[in-house]
Structure 1
């Protein structure tokens, strides 16, 4: 009998499917009990006495049948009884010996002359935990009077079959999917398009450097680019040249990279302290650029990055940035950081605090008016 299986397909964040099978392994074994001279066994064996068969192995355990032609229990005195027992010790070195317990299903069948089970004389148990009991008895297996009048007792001979199905283990197994869909790679293709400059129809001049790009890509990503490139310039037939002031070249390069790939390049600096400084500086400048070109996701990414760099030296600059570019999350985090009297005292001694007082007096009033350790409410 094949082991029962079940499968589950789950989707991860990329939409890919992983397929896992739940496999319940089992082992089946059988033993035939051929009784020749049935009437003699009934006459010779006293009530309650049994003939035990040689053990047989299933699932790493030894099993033994016992045949009782005369049941000693009054309610079953007219029946042939068969018992099936698991011998105490599993086979050395088997998986069953390592596992300890065992669950099994036992079936008894009277066979006809063709060797097939007689449906009306087949008994099957539910799965039994044989670590709790020694065995199971089929007290009312066959009524003797019925058997002696039936076609299944021929020449004083009958055959009984015992089947034991042992549950070995239940395990999970990852199975390869029939079709593997690769993750999205549109960002890679667009990034390659930007790097190759193939088909570029607009050039930007930024701090002495030039950058080539594609109007349709920029317009699809930014309403500001769309207005600039398909508004006043749409009549032009040649490559447009756009000058960008008040922005560093590396910031605009990072901005273009995000527009095409929806990702930011990691800083490749090996010195952790220098890397942290560069990341914080780039996040500030990119936030301003994202706000300028209405790239909301990039703006939020930069805002989230700056949350990790709030300290006494940076908090005032971040507050000014948050106030000027409507970054409520960054503003709330900075104000919460200033709730500590010690921190506030240290910050007030910096040059940045004076700049904050001049640039954003309303924020200064908020800092002073909110009691120390009180929750920050920007509403």
Structure 2
């Protein structure tokens, strides 16, 4: 029989198709800190605390720490540490690494790595939500408590998860490099130089040239103002009130480029306070002109910069402009036991009381929900104390005063 497409000895030639199955891991790490380790002891075997959930490879994970060990038969001689699949999943294959950080600066970390044993045993398979990988005898407690891993009653652990993925690769016949989209930069040039502009905005003592069609395409408010039933397509100048020039300029730049502008570049200030204030005003402008993407970008930026000093003004802003996610983040931050006292002492909280008193009840509800989920046995006393703290104040002479709503 005549062979086609091959070479002597059965070696295939170059006229065959090829494909490749590629197995790889999607890796990410999470740092889990336990402050007040000594207070966690005595919970009892099998009792645990967990880290916040983190996402790797499309699944959620959490670190479980057992200060008195997972197994009663170990008589609390060891601490146990596990990584758990915290979201729905079936037969999720992954590699893991748990690192107890040496806090002396010597770099002698305690590392339990599944990655090093991948060739020997392969990935670990988690069958369902709640499945765990880890160590019942992660570290002997007496040794841990005299080691450099414990400093100022604090433990720090790094958890790395590598979720196994596989994909099929086929050769590409042609590859032509394509530059990234540049429409935003091109439109931004139009805005910068005012080429073909047909509308002028007067904002304070500054003016901005723009293009009605672009503004109408980006904002339902401008669309109605220029081309709606009662709009005026022939208007040539608009006076804008209640918006500062840098804020309006930032909004225009976003509308032309679809990117959040550099606040430092616009304000000429590197002050964090100035930056946050600018983003807060930009969020308000985005809401005023119906720019939902800009509004969400501002929400995300403000979430990253939340502190005890900024959370109350940000919470007030979120309530006034219906930013549900930002409001939720602010409430959770404020209700945290370690933050609440500091927040109550800020000027921003005084303004919150006056402008949005209903938020005080939202804060109390969030505190109560946290107490219910973490300290059910202490719910009544904790809620009463925190409620008194929020509802009562102290005057200049140190006497308690009742806050009115």
> Which TM-score applies when normalising by structure 2?
0.47
State the 1:361 CA deviation: 1.3
SS of alignment partner, residue 234 of structure 1: coil
Distance 1:6 1:242, change over 3 A: same
Structure 2 residue 196 is the aligned partner of structure 1 residue 199: yes
SS of alignment partner, residue 335 of structure 2: coil
How far, CA to CA, are the matches of 1:335 and 1:216 in structure 2? Answer: 40
1:314 equivalent in structure 2? 310
State the 1:200 CA deviation: 0.7
SS of alignment partner, residue 311 of structure 1: coil
- Pick from 358, 361, 377: which aligns with 1:362? 358
Preserved contact between residue 267 and residue 275 of structure 1 (Cα < 8 Å): no
2:297 equivalent in structure 1? 301
Q: Which segment is superposed worse, 226-235 or 286-295? A: 226-235
2:183 equivalent in structure 1? 186
- Pick from 18, 30, 34: which aligns with 1:6? 18
SS of alignment partner, residue 274 of structure 1: coil
How far, CA to CA, are the matches of 1:235 and 1:286 in structure 2? Answer: 26
SS of alignment partner, residue 211 of structure 1: strand
1:234 equivalent in structure 2? 232
- Pick from 211, 215, 220: which aligns with 2:217? 220
SS of alignment partner, residue 6 of structure 1: coil
1:99 equivalent in structure 2? none
> Which TM-score applies when normalising by structure 1?
0.50
Structure 2 residue 242 is the aligned partner of structure 1 residue 246: yes
Preserved contact between residue 287 and residue 302 of structure 1 (Cα < 8 Å): yes
Preserved contact between residue 19 and residue 170 of structure 2 (Cα < 8 Å): no
How far, CA to CA, are the matches of 1:199 and 1:307 in structure 2? Answer: 38
Residues 166-205 of structure 1 show CA distances to partners (whole Å, capped at 9, x for unaligned) of xxxxxx9987834443332211221111122121110000
- Pick from 326, 332, 335: which aligns with 2:331? 335
- Pick from 258, 262, 266: which aligns with 2:262? 266
How far, CA to CA, are the matches of 1:229 and 1:179 in structure 2? Answer: 42
Pick the structure with more helix per residue: 2
2:208 equivalent in structure 1? 211
Report the number of matched residues.
209
Distance 1:335 1:246, change over 3 A: same
Pick the structure with more strand per residue: 1
Residues 324-350 of structure 1 show CA distances to partners (whole Å, capped at 9, x for unaligned) of 000011110111112223411111122
How far, CA to CA, are the matches of 2:204 and 2:298 in structure 1? Answer: 22
1:284 equivalent in structure 2? 280
SS of alignment partner, residue 179 of structure 2: coil
Mind listing any 5+ residue stretches in structure 1 that lack a counterpart?
9-171
CA RMSD across the alignment:
2.8
Q: Which has the higher contact order (CA 8 A, sep 6+)?
A: 1
Preserved contact between residue 251 and residue 286 of structure 2 (Cα < 8 Å): yes
How far, CA to CA, are the matches of 1:187 and 1:299 in structure 2? Answer: 18
Residues 283-302 of structure 1 show CA distances to partners (whole Å, capped at 9, x for unaligned) of 11110000000000000000
SS of alignment partner, residue 373 of structure 1: helix
Residues 350-377 of structure 1 show CA distances to partners (whole Å, capped at 9, x for unaligned) of 222121111111110121244163589x
